[in-house]
């Protein structure tokens, strides 16, 4: 324990460690959360759409107020939403004709109406009502015939089935995925959706991509740095020996990973509670993506994505420490570590589907947002929904890397 404490203290004394932690927090919490909520995404639109105001907190409350009146997603509430939206849009057009510009208050009401989410539902569930001549001119909810928006949940089932067929997921695979979809409870509760869409689609699911950079910088020098500092002869003479030292370094690397994740996760959660509160946590994730098959609500999906990032980060830490143990040059260890994460990310969409699935299993390469998808793995005649594997396999890979890391460190120490 004393050796671990000394190694841990040594790691945190480095300026590079402190700078990496600070930059990671600034990017994930400051830019990725605070500025997104208060300004870049949820600030109200300026006149003539010339950017956004720094009033996200108040604007989010207006968005939540607008959607609160619908409560449950049914044919009737969807039709009511569309009628209300058409009235708002008509008011914008009238203002343009009378005054030559839009009324800013009406613009804000249109922007706060969950516009993008609902139009996504319409395109998915009522594709035959979409007019090609109106693409890029106006949104679907502005011209769709309200009385034709019926059979919402039957259409959702049909949309899921059609998507699986287009995706060539038929036979046993289709049946397996539809059995998961059968657990989705209807009707769906309806609150403001775009906030949760950003949390699950960007904020939490993107944490691992950012953390990989800073974990690589800090942990790549954990073992290799001893060669850079010419301390290896001294270590061979210590009473603890290389085995205890290697164990202490591995514990330090895992502890640092947990500490960095905790700081980043705590910051994003606190800001989420401040700006969004807890409203809408019990909405099904289908309110974000109608053809999602997971029987999860927003809170469950967020917990999954945080767990995915944490276990993936620990797995990636194991990979980085393996490279650090085998490389005498910590720069080489850093480059290998970065390549292990960002290399597969870069070519992910340029390789066959089989290789995409293999890359998704690597630490911090896949995405927790797979809960919205229908990807599967096929083993020994059985299908497994990808989120079941993506959360555990990267962690196991990292743990398995620790054993050769210790042996590699021992071999180099004896040379």
The C-alpha angle with vertex 336 and arms to 333 and 337, in degrees rounded to 5, equals 85
Query: Are the CB atoms for 73 and 152 separated by under 8 Å?
Result: yes
Going by pLDDT thresholds of 50, 70 and 90, the confidence category of residue 81 is: very high
Residue 45 falls within a domain, yes or no?
Answer: no
Neighbours of 46 (CB within 10 A): 12
Q: How far, in Å, CA of 159 to CA of 156, rounded?
A: 5
Q: What is the pLDDT of residue 48?
A: 77
E strand map for 125-259: 188-190
Q: What is the pLDDT of residue 16?
A: 95
pLDDT per residue over 371-398, tens digit each?
A: 999 999 999 999 999 999 999 999 999 9
Percent of the chain with pLDDT over 90: 84
Going by pLDDT thresholds of 50, 70 and 90, the confidence category of residue 234 is: very low
On the question of pLDDT at 415 being above 60, the answer is no
Nearest-CA neighbor of 42 among 199, 176, 189? 199
Q: How many domains does the chain have?
A: 2
How far does Cα 161 stand from its chain's mean position?
26
Residue 314 falls within a domain, yes or no?
Answer: yes
Q: Are residues 233 and 347 in the same domain?
A: yes
Extract the tokens encoding 64: 């939540």
Q: What is the chain's length?
A: 415
Residue 111 falls within a domain, yes or no?
Answer: yes
On the question of pLDDT at 185 being above 90, the answer is yes
Residue 231 falls within a domain, yes or no?
Answer: yes
Q: Are residues 260 and 408 in the same domain?
A: yes
* 73: phi then psi, degrees, rounded to nearest 5: -85, 110
Q: How far, in Å, CA of 316 to CA of 305, rounded?
A: 16
On the question of pLDDT at 410 being above 90, the answer is no
Q: Are residues 156 and 298 in the same domain?
A: no
Q: Are residues 185 and 210 in the same domain?
A: no
Q: Are residues 19 and 91 in the same domain?
A: no
Q: Which of 190, 207, 229 is the last residue of a domain?
A: 190
Average pLDDT for the chain: 93
Q: Which of 170, 190, 210 is the last residue of a domain?
A: 190
How far does Cα 350 stand from its chain's mean position?
21
Residue environment code for 386-403, b if the CB has 16+ CB neighbours within 10 A, otherwise e? bbebbbbbbbebbeebbe
Going by pLDDT thresholds of 50, 70 and 90, the confidence category of residue 2 is: confident
Q: Are residues 130 and 256 in the same domain?
A: no
DSSP H or E segment with residue 383: strand 382-385
Higher per-residue pLDDT: 119 or 243 = 119
Angstrom CA distances, 163 to 160, 175, 292, 298, 351, stand at: 5, 13, 10, 22, 22
Higher per-residue pLDDT: 96 or 18 = 18
Which residues have a Cβ under 8 Å from the Cβ of 374 and sit 6 or more positions away? 163, 164, 167, 169, 177, 291, 293, 385
Q: What is the pLDDT of residue 237?
A: 47
| Lowest pLDDT segment from 11-15, 221-225, 401-405 | 221-225
On the question of pLDDT at 229 being above 90, the answer is no
On the question of pLDDT at 241 being above 70, the answer is no
Residue 378 falls within a domain, yes or no?
Answer: yes
Contacts 24+ apart (CB under 8 A), 242-245: 242/409, 242/410, 242/413, 242/414, 243/406, 243/410, 244/3, 245/3, 245/7
On the question of pLDDT at 105 being above 50, the answer is yes
Q: Which of 139, 173, 190 is the last residue of a domain?
A: 190
- Show the domain range for 351: 2-40+193-413
Q: Are residues 78 and 24 in the same domain?
A: no
Going by pLDDT thresholds of 50, 70 and 90, the confidence category of residue 101 is: confident
Going by pLDDT thresholds of 50, 70 and 90, the confidence category of residue 243 is: confident
Q: Are residues 69 and 199 in the same domain?
A: no
pLDDT per residue over 286-340, tens digit each?
A: 999 999 999 999 999 999 999 999 999 999 999 999 999 998 888 999 999 999 9
Average pLDDT (204-231) is 87
Average pLDDT (190-199) is 97
Q: Are residues 270 and 180 in the same domain?
A: no
Average pLDDT (180-203) is 97
Q: Are residues 259 and 322 in the same domain?
A: yes
Average pLDDT (184-192) is 97
Q: Are residues 227 and 371 in the same domain?
A: yes
Average pLDDT (239-252) is 81
Residue 371 falls within a domain, yes or no?
Answer: yes
Q: What is the pLDDT of residue 339?
A: 97
Q: Are residues 66 and 201 in the same domain?
A: no
In angstroms, the first-to-last Cα distance of the chain is: 27
Query: Are the CB atoms for 203 and 268 separated by under 8 Å?
Result: yes
């Amino acid at each position: 324990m004393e050796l671990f404490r000394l190694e841990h203290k040594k790691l945190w004394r480095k300026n590079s460690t402190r700078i990496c932690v600070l930059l990671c927090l600034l990017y994930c919490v400051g830019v990725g959360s605070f500025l997104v909520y208060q300004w870049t995404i949820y600030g109200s639109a300026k006149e003539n759409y010339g950017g956004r105001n720094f009033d996200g907190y108040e604007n989010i409350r207006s968005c939540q107020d607008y959607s609160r009146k619908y409560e449950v997603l049914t044919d009737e509430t969807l039709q009511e939403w569309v009628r209300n939206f058409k009235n708002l849009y008509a008011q914008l057009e009238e203002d343009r004709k009378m005054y030559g510009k839009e009324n800013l208050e009406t613009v804000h009401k249109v922007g706060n109406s969950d516009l993008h989410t609902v139009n996504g539902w319409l395109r998915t569930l009522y594709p035959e009502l979409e007019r090609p001549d109106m693409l890029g001119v106006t949104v679907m909810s502005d011209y769709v015939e309200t009385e034709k928006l019926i059979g919402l949940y039957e259409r959702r089932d049909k949309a899921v089935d059609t998507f699986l067929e287009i995706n060539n997921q038929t036979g046993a695979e289709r049946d397996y995925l539809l059995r998961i979809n059968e657990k989705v409870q209807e009707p769906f509760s309806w609150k403001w959706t775009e906030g949760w869409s950003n949390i699950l689609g960007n904020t939490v699911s993107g944490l691992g991509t950012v953390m990989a950079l800073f974990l690589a910088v800090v942990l790549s020098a954990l073992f290799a740095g001893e060669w850079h500092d010419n301390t290896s002869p001294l270590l061979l003479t210590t009473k603890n020996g290389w085995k205890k030292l290697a164990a202490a370094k591995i514990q330090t690397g895992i502890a640092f990973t947990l500490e960095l994740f905790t700081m980043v996760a705590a910051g994003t959660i606190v800001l989420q509670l401040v700006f969004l509160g807890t409203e809408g946590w019990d909405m099904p994730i289908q309110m974000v993506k109608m053809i999602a098959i997971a029987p999860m609500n927003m809170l469950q999906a967020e917990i999954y994505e945080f767990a995915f990032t944490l276990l993936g980060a620990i797995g990636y830490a194991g990979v980085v420490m393996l490279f650090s143990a085998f490389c005498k040059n910590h720069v080489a260890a850093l480059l290998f570590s970065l390549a292990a994460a960002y290399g597969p990310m870069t070519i992910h969409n340029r390789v066959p589907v089989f290789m995409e699935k293999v890359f998704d299993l690597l630490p911090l390469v896949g995405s927790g947002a797979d809960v919205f998808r229908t990807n599967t793995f096929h083993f020994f005649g059985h299908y497994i929904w990808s989120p079941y594997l993506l959360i555990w396999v990267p962690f196991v890979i990292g743990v398995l890397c620790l054993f050769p890391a210790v042996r590699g460190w021992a071999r180099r120490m004896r040379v």
